[in-house]
Each structure stands twice: as structure tokens, then as C-alpha cells.
Amino acid sequence: MTAKTKDGKEVYNSEKHYHPQATTCKDNKMKYGAQVKTQYIRDTSLQPLETKTESFEIMLPEGVRAVEVTASVRYEIWKPDHMIEIHKITKHVSLDR
Amino acid sequence: MKFLKSFLVVLLVMIPVTAFAEKAKTIEELAAMYDSSSCKECHAEIYAQWEKSHHARSLMGVLGGLFMTPLAMKDKTPFSPDDPSQATLDTFPCFKCHLPQAVTSGSDDFAKDYAKALVAQDKERIGKLNISCLVCHNTKAIIHKRDEGHPEKGVLYSTKAVKSHDHPDFKTVKKSSIMDHSIMCGQCHGQGPNLEFENPVQCATLYGSYQHNYLSKGGQKSCQECHMGDNADHLFAPNWNDLEGTKKLLQEAISLDIDTVGYDWLLKSKDYKPVVVVNTRINTTAGHRIPDG
């Protein structure tokens, strides 16, 4: 989720990560490798037939009355640069009528 | 003399049994035992689909990475041997699903050969091993072994029986009780930690998610219905190396909607704060958690 002013300045940037997270159970460090993962300790993934809702409150800086917000859903595969942007929606939002 | 005769009879009876029980000692031997390339002569389209699937490169991961390499390297994992030459089948718990034929038909010598190939990053040799047609249509086709026996040598199993199958080594196709059921895939696309090993291993938990969090919400589709479709597509999408194809699949399963509002928020008396609120809704129709495997 990003918000930018009309001149392109980013005034907000936030990410939510949806995936199960596991440790070895021997310490509290998250691990990725199947050969060491033992138990999920948290699961923020998208669940079947469920809707994941979020509400982002973007406090605008002094003098900014309108922004372009962009929300995108991405799927990261194996490493950050091997990524699929599934959906991307951009909307112009103004406080003034 | 009588003893010698008895010994010879026993020996003659034993020879075919030991020949059948011979275990592969090298990558090439195991690849040859499970070679399915002859299938494409009659099933060209299905074979071409499978060749692009992750089943065709089950040891290669995404983008050709040899993901089991740490298992062959000293001190990298709890399973790692001091030297590749000391590897055994127990060194590679991932064989359970990524190469089931290694468990049934491979030897510790095979494990050593594989460990050395991993250290050498020999993708060409390792790429010869895969989840071939025979793995699903024979080795993994029967799970009710007490009721139905073990998969028979020289027999293929499918969703339908075929009385006469035109192949020199596989003349019969029998009906598998599970081939068109989700449990067929659930054998490997698992339920949670694998605790039968000397250290826990947790890979895919997709079938657990399907069972406990999809069926419970009234979902009724099988793995095969979504991932193979009406035409039994043996790509078993997604192919993670195909970003465009995978994007299309994900777009079908996941939706994103947003609503926005901008206003001056009166957080406290006479102190307006300009705020934009964005509410997002991500919905999924998949039969399992995303991500999982």
C-alpha cells in the first residue's frame, strides 16, 4: 500500500505479509528450510473461502489534501525478485470537494 | 547330495526374487528403473504437459535450484553427513515425496552418488530424476495395501481399468481406488510435520489445510478438479517458473477490492488531522491456504 502526492512524493508505504511462519521449536527464530521447520507458530496466510480485510489509516502531512493510493497483492516465490503482482488498484483520493 | 539338490532348487527360486529386489546404486540406474519416456509415444500431449510440470523436476525447485544441497553438506542440517561418501537414504528425508522411488528402489550407494552430485551441483545428472509417470501410476497408486496389496510390477493404475494396454512392459491398467480423489495428491502435498524421521521435517501442509479449513467451509472440489481440470492436464499448474501462467491462475483464485475515504479527522477538540483510509478485501476461492505447497 502506497500513497503519493500529485508530484510523485511518497507519503505512505506499508506492507502486510500473509504466510505461515515456523520455527524449529528449539528457539524463537523463524526458519524456512523444510529440513529444520518443526511447527507453525503463526499463520497469516490467505485461508480458503475467507476474505482477508485490512484498514490502512494514512495520516497526511501538513498541506497535503489529496493523494493517489495504490494497493497491490503480490506473490513472492522463493526470493524477492521472483515476484508476481496479482492485482494492482490505484485510486485518487481528495479531502476537498 | 540331497542337500545340494535342495539348495539348487532354493537358489533357482530365489534368483528372480533377488533380481526384482535389486536396488539402484546410481542416479542413472534409478532414472532407468523409472524411465517413463516410452509413455510419450502414445500420450504425447499429456507427456508434454508433464515435462513442464514441477513433477518433471522434483529435485530442482524453482528456477533450477538444487534445494537438497544443504543436506549433503557437513553441518548444514541435522541430517548432513560429514562427507558425501557417508550419505545414506536417511540423509535425505525429502525423498519421501520428492523422489519416492529412492525409498522403494534406491540403495545407500544411490544416496552417496546423489550426495556427491549435489555437492558438485551436477544439474544434468540430477535432472534425470523426477516424479515420473510410474511414480503416480504405480508406486503411489495404492494406499489401501492391506486391502488391495502393493502396486504390481508391470501394471499401471489409473482412474479407469484398461484391459489391453499396448506397451511391452505394462500390458495392464487397473483402476486405482484413489487416483481421482484428493488423497492421491495428499500423500505428498502434506498435512504437517513429518515426525517419523529422527528430526522433524515440515514441508507442504496443503492437504491439511484442504481437509480442515476448506471442506469445513463447505468446499467440495478435489485437487484434481482445480489443478488438472476436465482434460486431466498433467502440468498440475502452477508452474512457478512460468510467471505469466502462474499470474493468470492466481488472478482466478484471488481477488482484491478496495474502498477509500478522505476526511479531516477530529481526533481531539479543534485539532483536525487530514487522513485517508483505505479498506482492502482480499478474497480467495482456493481449496487451501495461500501460500502452501
Return the C-alpha cell found at B88.
Answer: 545414506
List B281's β-bridge partners, or say none.
A53, B257
Same domain, A9 and A33: no
Q: Parallel, antiparallel, or unpaired: how do β-strands B155-158 and A83-94 relate?
A: unpaired
Q: Does B207 touch chain A (CB under 8 A)?
A: no
Look at residue B21 in the predicted model and tell me its pLDDT.
65
| A chain contacts of residue B256, beta-carbon cutoff 8 Å | 71-73, 86-87, 89
Closest-CA distance of chain A to residue B34, Å: 26
φ, ψ dihedrals at B219, nearest 5°: -60, 140
Q: Does B17 touch chain A (CB under 8 A)?
A: no
Cβ contact B183:B189 at 8 Å: no
Instruction: List, for residues B58-98, the tens digit of each pLDDT value.
Output: 999 888 899 999 999 999 999 999 999 999 999 999 999 99
Per the structure, how many domains does chain A have?
Answer: 2
Same domain, A11 and A58: yes
Confidence check on the interface: ipTM exceeds 0.90, yes or no: yes
Residue B260: which of A24, A64, A91 has the nearest Cβ?
A: A91
Mean pLDDT of chain B: 93
Q: Does B284 touch chain A (CB under 8 A)?
A: yes
Residue-range definition of the domain harbouring residue A84 = 1-15+54-97
Per-residue DSSP letters for B213-241? HTGGGT----HHHHHTTTTT-TT-S--TT
Closest-CA distance of chain B to residue A58, Å: 5
Return the C-alpha cell found at B127.
Answer: 535432472
Return the C-alpha cell found at A90.
Answer: 490505484
Same domain, A62 and A93: yes
- Whether the per-residue pLDDT at B8 is higher than 80: the answer is no
Instruction: List, for residues B126-158, the tens digit of each pLDDT value.
Output: 999 999 999 999 999 999 999 999 999 999 999
- Whether the per-residue pLDDT at A67 is higher than 90: the answer is yes
SS3 B281: strand
Helices marked H in B120-242: 123-126, 133-134, 145-148, 182-186, 206-213, 223-227
Same domain, A33 and A80: no
Q: Does B231 touch chain A (CB under 8 A)?
A: no
Instruction: List, for residues A34-54, the tens digit of each pLDDT value.
Output: 999 999 999 999 999 999 999
**Mean pLDDT of the region B15-29:** 72
Residue B43: how many other CB atoms lie within 10 Å? 15
Of the candidates B191, B211, B212, the one whose C-alpha atom is nearest the C-alpha of residue B203 is B191
Same domain, A59 and A88: yes
Q: How confident is the model at residue A80 (pLDDT cuts 50, 70, 90)?
A: confident
Q: Does B267 touch chain A (CB under 8 A)?
A: no
Same domain, A35 and A73: no
Instruction: List, for residues B176-216, the tens digit of each pLDDT value.
Output: 999 999 999 999 999 999 999 999 999 999 999 999 999 99
Q: How confident is the model at residue B19 (pLDDT cuts 50, 70, 90)?
A: very low
Look at residue A65 in the predicted model and tell me its pLDDT.
98
Residue of A nearest to B262 (CA): A95
Same domain, A30 and A43: yes
Return the C-alpha cell found at A19.
Answer: 504466510
SS3 B181: coil
Residue B33's H or E segment, with its range, is helix B27-33
List A20's β-bridge partners, or say none.
A43
Are residues B260 and A52, on separate chains, in Cβ contact within 8 Å? Answer: no
Same domain, A9 and A22: no
**Mean pLDDT of the region B3-7:** 50
Cβ contact B271:A2 at 8 Å: no
Residue B274: which of A18, A64, A69 has the nearest Cβ?
A: A64
Same domain, A71 and A89: yes
Look at residue B2 in the predicted model and tell me its pLDDT.
54
Cβ contact B168:B97 at 8 Å: no
Same domain, A76 and A92: yes
Same domain, A70 and A84: yes
Q: Does B191 touch chain A (CB under 8 A)?
A: no
Q: Does B54 touch chain A (CB under 8 A)?
A: no
Same domain, A22 and A10: no
Q: How confident is the model at residue B23 (pLDDT cuts 50, 70, 90)?
A: very high
Are residues B78 and A33, on separate chains, in Cβ contact within 8 Å? Answer: no
Return the C-alpha cell found at A85.
Answer: 503482482
